[in-house]
Each structure stands twice: as C-alpha cells, then as structure tokens.
C-alpha cells in the first residue's frame, strides 16, 4: 500500500494490518510518548494506537513534542 507519511509518499509492502503502533515501530520512533500522531487530519488517541489501522492512501503525520527554547 501507499501512504503519505510526514508529507512524503511511502510504499509499504509485506505488512498486513498495519496499526499506528506498528508504524511507529517500523519507523523506529524511539519515544512514541514524544510524538502526537495525526491520521487523515485527526489526532489518534494514545490508548488506541494498537487498534487503529492504517490503510492505503492514509495520510499520517508525526508531530514531535519540542520543549527547548
């Protein structure tokens, strides 16, 4: 399937039933707590990362927490 991840096209093969949690892992996001995930324009509730599935043509944005100033 093809998704848009952080604004860029991404082809994902060999994976069926990709969840938000799975995508975070696949992208090697070290601290998922430091990211808010937006899926097709909506913020995904942290408690539902395992059950929220990503399908073809989905748009996913990782919004990183940045506290420095």
Partner 1 sequence: MVQLTDTQLDRYSRHIILQEVGPEGQEKLMNARVLVIGAGGLGSPIALYLAAAGVGCIGIVDADVVEISNLQRQVIHFSSDMQRPKVESAAEKMRAINPDIEVNTYKIYLNASNIQEIISGYDFVLDGTDNFATKFLINDACVMAGLPFSHGGILRFDGQTMTVLPGHSSCYRCSFRQPPPPDAVPSCSQAGVLGAIAGMLGTIQAAEALKFITGAGTLLTDTLLTFDAKNMHFRRVSLKKRSDCPLCGENPTLHELEEGDRATCDLSA
Residue from 9, 16, 17, 69 touching partner 1 (CB under 8 A): that is: 69
Q: For residue 38, what are the contacts with CB-CB under 8 A and spacing of at least 6?
A: 44, 60, 61, 63
Stretch that binds partner 1, among 12-20, 21-29, 42-50 (CB under 8 A): 42-50
Lookup result for tokens 């399937």: 1
Stretch that binds partner 1, among 14-22, 41-49, 50-58 (CB under 8 A): 41-49
Using CA atoms, how far residue 41 sits from 59, 61, 69, in Å, is 8, 8, 27
* Angstrom distance (rounded) from CA 60 to CA 42: 9
Minimum distance from residue 13 beta carbon to partner 1 (Å): 25
Q: Total number of residues binding partner 1 (CB under 8 A)?
A: 19
**Residue ranges binding partner 1 (CB under 8 A):** 6-7, 31, 33-34, 36, 38, 41-43, 46, 61, 63-69
């Amino acid at each position: 399937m093809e998704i848009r991840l952080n604004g860029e096209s991404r082809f994902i093969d060999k994976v069926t039933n990709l969840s938000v949690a799975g995508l975070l892992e696949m992208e090697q996001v070290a601290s998922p707590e430091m990211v808010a995930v937006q899926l097709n324009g909506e913020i995904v509730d942290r408690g539902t990362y395992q059950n929220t599935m990503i399908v073809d043509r989905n748009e996913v944005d990782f919004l990183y927490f940045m506290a420095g100033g």
